[in-house]
């Protein structure tokens, strides 16, 4: 349940107080005396609890009037509530120390329009009722053992709606039409380019179709493995007659006989 409530409070901070009332990080939170006393009772570190509520960096602040109120409470009850506020940053007020209570000091700081964009962590019911009348003041309180944020008041929401309406009125309809026409034209041009690219791809794909393999046809034999063709000799008669005899003559291979040895002539007998 705590997680859902923290998400809700962060939604209020980001979408209402930051957007329309100028509250920024680090969130400046003024902590009153009853809130410090309550955190001491339930043993909660205020800085850690408030960072969870706001979902961002937090700067805790106090005033001399609140410190005086805590010191008086410690004297009566022997508590250490003043030690809790010693770690906070001191926001100087225009009052003498202890001349006013902590709630009255906070009212003077917030005045009528919260000019310094403060958040209030208060456990005083009367103080919270007074601050609800002022728009743009986030209010944090403690319920049992958890730190929570109040929802924005109706006055805050009305001001936010008016500011949103003023923003919309400043925007001219002609400007909206021009912007929409530009967007539509850009979308159409992109679509046309995509169609052209697709057509080009189709043409390229058609041109790159694989060629059909030819069937194995009868090929001529290798000419180197074949015999040479025989020559045809035509013998024409010298008489000029039309008859002609065609004879196919082939050269026979020449036989080589072994060379005969020359016989040595015997010398003739010398006649006596």
3-state secondary structure the chain: CHHHHHHHHHHHHHHHHHHHHCCCCCEEEEECHHHHHHHHHHCCCHHHHHHHHHCCCEEEEECHHHHHHHHHHHHHHCCCHHHHHCCCEECCCCCCCCCCCHHHHHHHHHCCCCCCCCEEECCCHHHHHHHCCCCCCCEEEEECCEEEECCCCHHHHHHHHHHHHHHHHHCCHHHHHHHHHHHHHHHHHHHHHHHHHHHHHHHHHHHCCCCCCCCCCCCCCCHHHCCCCCCCEEECCCCCCCCCEEECCCCCCCCCCCCCCCCCCCCCCCCC
Asked whether residue 258 is assigned to any structural domain, the reply reads no
Domain that holds residue 30: 2-152
pLDDT the model gives residue 137: 93
* 148 and 159 within one domain: no
* 19 and 83 within one domain: yes
* 20 and 40 within one domain: yes
* 117 and 6 within one domain: yes
pLDDT the model gives residue 177: 66
* 127 and 112 within one domain: yes
Using 70 as the pLDDT threshold, list the residues of the chain that sit under it. 1-3, 167-177, 179-181, 183-184, 187-218, 231-257, 259-272
Give me the number of domains the chain comprises: 2
**pTM for the structure as a whole:** 0.60
Asked whether residue 250 is assigned to any structural domain, the reply reads no
* 42 and 32 within one domain: yes
Asked whether residue 35 is assigned to any structural domain, the reply reads yes
pLDDT the model gives residue 129: 92
CATH number of the domain where residue 24 is located: 3.40.50.1010
62-79, pLDDT tens digit by residue? Answer: 999 999 999 998 888 877
pLDDT the model gives residue 57: 92
Last residue of a domain, one of 101, 136, 152: 152
* 133 and 7 within one domain: yes
């Amino acid at each position: 349940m705590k997680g859902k409530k923290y998400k809700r409070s962060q939604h209020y901070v980001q979408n209402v107080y930051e957007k329309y009332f100028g509250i920024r990080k680090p969130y400046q939170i003024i902590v009153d005396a009853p809130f410090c006393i309550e955190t001491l009772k339930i043993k909660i570190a205020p800085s850690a609890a408030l960072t969870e509520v706001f979902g961002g960096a937090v700067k805790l602040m106090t005033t001399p009037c609140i410190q005086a109120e805590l010191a008086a409470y410690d004297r009566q009850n022997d508590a250490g509530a003043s030690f809790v506020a010693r770690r906070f940053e001191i926001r100087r007020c225009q009052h003498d120390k202890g001349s006013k209570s902590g709630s009255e000091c906070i009212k003077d700081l917030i005045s009528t329009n919260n000019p310094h964009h403060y958040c209030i962590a208060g456990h005083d019911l009367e103080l919270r009722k007074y601050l609800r009348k002022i728009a743009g003041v986030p209010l944090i309180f403690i319920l049992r053992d958890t730190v929570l944020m109040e929802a924005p008041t109706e006055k805050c929401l009305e001001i936010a709606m008016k500011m949103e309406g003023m923003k919309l009125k400043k925007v001219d309809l002609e400007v909206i039409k021009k912007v929409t026409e530009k967007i539509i034209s850009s979308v159409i041009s992109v679509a046309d380019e995509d169609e052209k690219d697709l057509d080009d791809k189709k043409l390229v794909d058609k041109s790159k179709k694989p060629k059909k393999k030819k069937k194995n046809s009868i090929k001529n034999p290798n000419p180197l493995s074949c015999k040479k063709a025989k020559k045809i000799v035509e013998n024409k008669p010298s008489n000029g007659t039309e008859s002609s005899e065609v004879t196919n003559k082939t050269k026979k291979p020449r036989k080589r006989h072994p060379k005969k040895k020359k016989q040595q002539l015997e010398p003739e007998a010398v006649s006596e």
